[in-house]
Amino acid sequence: MEHFGFTDGISQPIIEGLGKTEPAADVIKAGEFLLGHPNEYDLYTSRPTLAPSADPRNHLASAVDQPSRKDLGRNGSYLVFRQLEQDVQGFRKYLEQKTKAADGTGQPAEALAFAARMLGRWQGGASLVRSPDKDDPALAAFNSFSYQKEDPYGLRCPFGSHVRRSNPRDSLDPNPGSAESVAIGKRHRLLRRGREYGAPLPGDGGPAGAEHDGRGLHFLCLNGNIARQFEFIQSTWINNPVFNGPLQRRRSGARFSLSVRGGISPSRLSRCGSGLSAYRGSYPYEEARISSCRASARFGISATLPD
């Protein structure tokens, strides 16, 4: 459990060929994580190869896609490491301020629910798609759910939540809810682990004075193509202000997303603009053509709220 109080590492891809085959949406070709194997495009990611003369003792296998070259990169991968500092006190203060009752008293249960909607899961791990109103220990490790089929309007798990933006599952264009949509998402997955650093706050079991120390999460992930996987997820999905937000409003040149659980019916959502398709933006990039996910990404706004 990381310092904000959430169970981490629940949703992980399954590498094809290692035995486990369910859920199918999480079974990813080995080439997405290991070089020298076919990826989700049935192509081989660029990797270091050598002329045969550089391997006089013939230790290396020939590259399957380049038979005249030796495959130095086979079974290798690329590791991304990030140190993410967490302001636990600031986070809790924000939650408390935003969920106070009309008379100014705190509402701890509401604060926890607010935090869960920011993440998309309850602190114990249960997805809001299956358990929108309270944490459910029985669903702590359950990960076989979909967004388009079970929560297309984001009324359970908000569109702006972290888990929905970082892994949109079956909600991507051109055909949300289809196998094609799931296939597009498979091209942008990470094999990741999080490791917390720093002592907990004193109230969380840490030593006296720990409130003055730094704490956070060490993020590590393996991927076969950093631009198409880690950088794409970070810049095109997570940090993109117009991705996964069907209700958009301009204010003094600014743009933000809004997701609501009640008060707006699906029929009204469909009348707000051009529907709920453009916001899901993703593109099936070809390995040979991708040079920068930042330059190649395509995304759009789906709807606007009337003034």
The answer to whether 157 and 163 are in contact (CB under 8 A) is: yes
Determine if the peptide bond prior to 174 is cis (ω within 30°). yes
Q: Are 211 and 89 in contact (CB under 8 A)?
A: yes
User: Contact at 8 Å (CB) between 63 and 71?
Assistant: yes
Active site (annotated) includes residue 8: yes
**Taking Cα atoms as reference points, which of 9, 2, 42, 20 lies closest to residue 186?**
42
What CA–CA distances, in Å, run from 161 to 5, 75, 85, 154, 257?
16, 34, 19, 9, 11
Long-range CB contacts (within 8 A, 24+) of 48-52: 48/72, 48/73, 49/73
* Contact (CB, 8 A) for 279 and 299: yes
Residue 58 zone, left/alpha/beta (φ > 0; ψ -120 to 50; rest): left
Q: Which residues face 251 on adjacent strands?
A: 254
Dig out the tokens for 253 from the structure.
Answer: 């040149």
| Active-site residue list | 8
